[in-house]
Amino acid sequence: MNKITTVLFDFDGTIMDTNSLIINSWQYTFRTIEGKERPEEEIIATLGEPLALSMKNLLPNVPVEQAVEIYRKYQHGNFSDEINIYPGMLELIKKLKKKGYKMGIVTSRMTGTTIQGLEKYGIRDCFEAVVTCDHTEKHKPDPEPVNIALKILGSKPEESIMIGDSKFDILCAKNAGVKSVLVGWAVAMSGEDREGEGAPEHIIENAEDLFQLIENDWSRLKTIGAD
- pLDDT tens digit sequence for 166-224: 989 999 999 999 999 999 998 876 555 666 677 899 999 999 999 988 887 555 444 44
* Residue 227 forms part of a structural domain: no
Q: Are residues 152 and 91 in the same domain?
A: yes
CATH number at residue 49: 1.10.150.240
Average pLDDT over residues 39-63: 92
Mean pLDDT of the chain: 91
Specify the pLDDT at position 47: 87
Catalytic residue numbers read: 10
* Residue 1 forms part of a structural domain: no
Specify the pLDDT at position 124: 98
Does the reported pTM lie above 0.85?
A: yes
| Domain range for 98 | 6-17+85-220
Q: Is 134 exposed, middle or buried (0-12, 13-18, 19+ CB in 10 A)?
A: exposed
Specify the pLDDT at position 198: 74
Whether 58 and 40 have beta carbons less than 8 Å apart is answered as no
Q: Are residues 117 and 196 in the same domain?
A: yes
16-30 tens-digit pLDDT: 999 999 999 999 999
- Residue 32 CB-half CA count within 13 A: 17
Q: Are residues 155 and 166 in the same domain?
A: yes
Q: Are residues 70 and 44 in the same domain?
A: yes
Q: Residue 95: is its pLDDT beyond 50?
A: yes
- Given 64, 82, 100, the domain boundary residue is 82
Q: Are residues 71 and 93 in the same domain?
A: no
Residue 49's pLDDT band, with cuts at 50, 70 and 90, is confident
* Residue 108 forms part of a structural domain: yes
The span from the CA of 9 to the CA of 91, in Å, is: 14
Q: Are residues 156 and 188 in the same domain?
A: yes
**Selection from 129, 123, 66 nearest residue 93 by Cα:** 123
